[in-house]
Homo-oligomer: A and B are copies of this chain.
């Protein structure tokens, strides 16, 4: 953990280094992924069979080797512990409700010259969702990706997931049942993303691919961007807590550790105007680490990337926060709205002392797929818009074309595009 004070003479230099630090693994998988994508495009299912054997020790032969059926998902759902069943359903209902509120409105109006203009939103035909296997297979991620697609109106929602040695995660299957996933394939890695983008005999292609994954999956999405739509490529997770002196250090310690336990590359940052709180939070983290089952990961993250910044006044916090443009920002102060009003860049903001970030990870309703690595400067969390597209339209009356056609002709001629000009002129001179 690093401790900085804005009064340090070299504060700006050190803070700038932290802002620039990418924390992303620089394993170069570009060439391997390009090969895999090409193999799947050329050889389809045969390539999937080979890669699944090689990477997941899973043989794709029978229908059951290839697919997880809707019945299997339903059975996993029905076998859930009742409390967990209720929790998953509450989460799904709240996520659905928040995302329904996001649906964009079409526009259709006629302006003063009699030209009808507008835009129509429609869902994509099919969406693919990558669900990691093993430790990172989170039912909450499935809900957060699948429900916005279904709310958008996507008719065919396809999940791909690796099943190492054939193993599946019953919680993920139950979540797929709740979310209404239409197809679920036992393939993973870059090869699964390629199958979604190009299509194979078995797996029909989709239009958008979302969902988290390892470096291979992320690189596959990056390379296939444009062949399909993708969500933002995600990096390591981050939390920034902005807190005044009047806080329970245990609460803040737990919040910082809730990011740190995700991965050693995660980053947890506290900005406070209280030296005492800073010290108490540091102590509370050390204490909590002693009994946390995820202590090894959380400690690695906190030691390497943890940061406490002591400011002279919390008025300095919004500007520092904007430079970090963190994925999650908690505002643990008396008037969180006043701070929020001064901030510009953050993935999601948690206002007040009773809004731990974890409530947003699971159940509050807003999406937990958020821009990382300072991308909140320009990117937004996953939403129904990622599963929709907009068609603009123009309907010119005879009179409307007469009103503005001559100006368009002049511009087309000035740009040296005579057929553009002609296409308007022939209609005006009929």
Q: Which residues of A contact B (CB under 8 A)?
A: 83-84, 86-88, 90-91, 94, 97-98, 101-102, 104, 107, 109, 111, 115-117, 119, 122, 124-125, 135, 138-140, 171, 207-208, 222, 225-226, 228-229, 232-233, 248, 250-251, 254-255, 257-258, 260-262, 288, 292-294, 298, 336, 340, 344-367, 370-371, 373, 375-381, 383, 385, 389-398, 400-401, 404-408, 410-412, 414-424, 426-427, 430
Contacts and interface: CB of A to CB of B under 8 A. Distances in A.
Contacts of A424: 356, 358-359
A125 B377 contact: yes
A281 B330 CA distance: 64
A251 B426 contact: yes
A353 to B, nearest CB: 8
Contact of A362 (B140, B370, B408): B408
A358 to B, nearest CB: 4
A127 B358 CA distance: 33
A110 to B, nearest CB: 12
B419 A360 contact: no
Contacts of A377: 124-125, 207, 389
A383 B376 contact: no
B391 A349 contact: yes
Copies of this chain, complex-wide, total 2
A225 B228 contact: no
A395 B229 contact: no
Contacts of A405: 359
Nearest to A355: B396
A331 to B, nearest CB: 9
Given A226-B375, A257-B419, A416-B294, A336 B251 contact: no
B226 A90 contact: no
A381 to B, nearest CB: 6
Given A401-B359, A414-B84, A421-B358, A117 B365 contact: yes
Given A257-B419, A380-B390, 13 more contacts: A84-B410, A98-B117, A115-B364, A116-B351, A140-B415, A257-B422, A358-B417, A358-B420, A359-B401, A359-B408, A366-B392, A376-B391, A381-B390
Instruction: Select the residue from A171, A344, A353, A370 with max chain B CB neighbours within 10 A.
Output: A344
Contacts of A345: 389, 391
Contact of A340 (B390, B393, B417): B393
Given A393-B351, A404-B363, A411 B91 contact: yes
A367 B392 contact: yes
Contacts of A91: 407-408, 411
Contacts of A171: 414-415
Contacts of A86: 407
A392 B357 CA distance: 12
A415 B260 contact: no
B426 A248 contact: yes
B393 A359 contact: no
B412 A122 contact: no
A425 to B, nearest CB: 8
Contacts of A394: 348-351, 355, 359-360, 364-366
Contact of A426 (B250, B380, B416): B250
A396 B349 contact: no
